[in-house]
Amino acid sequence: MRLSERISRISVSKIATVLQKAEKLKVKDARLADFGAGEPDFPTPDHIKIAAIKAIEENFTKYTATGGIRELRHALVEKHGKDFGSNYTVEECLVTVGGKQAIFEAMSSLLNEGDEVILPVPHWVSFLEIIKYEGAKPVLLETRENENFAVHASAIEKLIAPRTKLIIVNSPHNPTGVVVPPGEMEKILALAVRHNLLLITDECYCHFVYDGRKPFSLGSSREREHLLIVDSFSKTYAMTGWRVGFALGSARLLANMLKLQSHSTSNPTSIAQKAALAAIEGPQDPVRAMLAEYHRRRDRLIEGLKSIPGLQCVPPHGAFYAYPNVAYYLKKDGLGDTSVLAERLLEEAHVAVVPGTAFGTHEHIRISYATSLEHINEGLRRMAAFFSKL
């Protein structure tokens, strides 16, 4: 049996590979310092879990509307309006099986073979793989580390060509933690409008920003035709396993994304939708508490990384990742690239990180600080010892 040409273009997430290895080791060493997973270590808040239990008890266990129950879509656009000053209607909101499904459906609805997609590097793993799966051409925008990986509208504009269809921006950013300033985001959106393109802004981490920054959404711009906002319950409410995300955008684009959803997953899980409703309608204190804890952890991690000779790290102002440059150590004997370094860190120091090659750069490792301060301290101690021996 021959597999499709389309499926052969992509590979399984490199992050998943690291996580699998780390998982195996965890069985042997419960003290593994796990900086690999891009998911909150906090449990889903109780009131959200209770809403799901109630949904089961009340037999809310059947198919729902494919694009999500109206109550949830209504609550989502209301909350987005309250948080960011947007004014989406229920028809301009689609509930999906995680933010990932929204991204997949949007690209499938938009891209033809050979269309070009502008994607800043480093980039979250799945963006590139989905572009390839669609048969489109990724046009990678190289950012500069000495400019804190800044994404400039002027640099994007230089890459716009006749086949350009889509620009993807993710802020706060996975894997660097960098936050694109609102003014720059608005300039990028203006470019999309001027050149008749779509801008997908992935705002999955928008509530996790530090150092006096305020959560921002481009939805406040009120642009519809050229903007698709993707967001998720996964990170904001520590609900990665529930698989609920959403998209806000033009009713026409969403109607086409819905077609795909209707023939693949159908509705996001009914019970998870009720949980999501409780998440946005209920108290937001758990989100504030997680933010405060991430902030403490970020400060400790960055302070610890700075004390390891040779490591450089762009200051992360959002999400829960740091992306230190390890070039100094790659020159040492037998290392070569960050995959080897990550493997040795795992095997010799029992520290799990993701090699930057997964995100399109060659001198970095991604450290997720969605793990306890205790693990961060232990991981830093082990990393310092590991690097000092190289």
Ligand X SMILES: Cc1ncc(COP(=O)(O)O)c(C=O)c1O
Binding site for ligand X (CB under 6 A): 38, 98-100, 124, 170, 174, 202, 204, 232, 234, 240, 245
**Side chain identity, residue 375:** H
Compare residues 151 and 204 and give the one whose CB is closer to ligand X: 204
Compare residues 13 and 377 and give the one whose CB is closer to ligand X: 13
Q: Which long-range contacts (CB under 8 A, 24 or more apart) does 82-85 make?
A: 83/215, 83/217, 84/215, 84/216, 84/217, 84/219, 84/220, 85/219, 85/220
Q: Exposed, middle or buried, 390 (CB in 10 Å: 0-12/13-18/19+)?
A: middle
Give the whole-angstrom CA distance, residue 138 versus residue 340: 26
Shortest approach of ligand X to residue 321 CB, angstroms? 9
Shortest approach of ligand X to residue 240 CB, angstroms? 5
Query: Where is 33: in which H helix or E strand?
Result: strand 33-34
Shortest approach of ligand X to residue 203 CB, angstroms? 9
Compare residues 134 and 380 and give the one whose CB is closer to ligand X: 134
Shortest approach of ligand X to residue 245 CB, angstroms? 4
**Side chain identity, residue 299:** D
Shortest approach of ligand X to residue 332 CB, angstroms? 31
Shortest approach of ligand X to residue 119 CB, angstroms? 12
Q: What is the DSSP string of 91-109?
A: GGEEEESHHHHHHHHHHHH
Residue nearest ligand X, CB atom distance: 98
| 133-158 CB burial, b ≥16 within 10 A, e <16 | bbebbbbebebebeeebbbbbeebbe
Compare residues 75 and 349 and give the one whose CB is closer to ligand X: 75
Who's near 262: CB < 8 A, 6+ residues apart? 66
Assign 34 to helix, strand or coil.
strand
Who's near 228: CB < 8 A, 6+ residues apart? 102, 106, 198, 199, 200, 201, 247, 248, 249, 250, 253
Compare residues 131 and 349 and give the one whose CB is closer to ligand X: 131
Contact in structure between 372 and 300 (CB atoms under 8 Å): no
Shortest approach of ligand X to residue 96 CB, angstroms? 8
Give the whole-angstrom CA distance, residue 246 versus residue 354: 27
Contact in structure between 103 and 200 (CB atoms under 8 Å): yes
Shortest approach of ligand X to residue 134 CB, angstroms? 17
Shortest approach of ligand X to residue 197 CB, angstroms? 20
Report angle CA 314, 214, 250 to the nearest 5 degrees: 100
Compare residues 100 and 317 and give the one whose CB is closer to ligand X: 100
Compare residues 100 and 350 and give the one whose CB is closer to ligand X: 100
Compare residues 184 and 387 and give the one whose CB is closer to ligand X: 184
Compare residues 130 and 192 and give the one whose CB is closer to ligand X: 130
Give the whole-angstrom CA distance, residue 71 versus residue 86: 18
Shortest approach of ligand X to residue 285 CB, angstroms? 22
Q: Exposed, middle or buried, 3 (CB in 10 Å: 0-12/13-18/19+)?
A: exposed
Compare residues 233 and 387 and give the one whose CB is closer to ligand X: 233
Assign 281 to helix, strand or coil.
helix
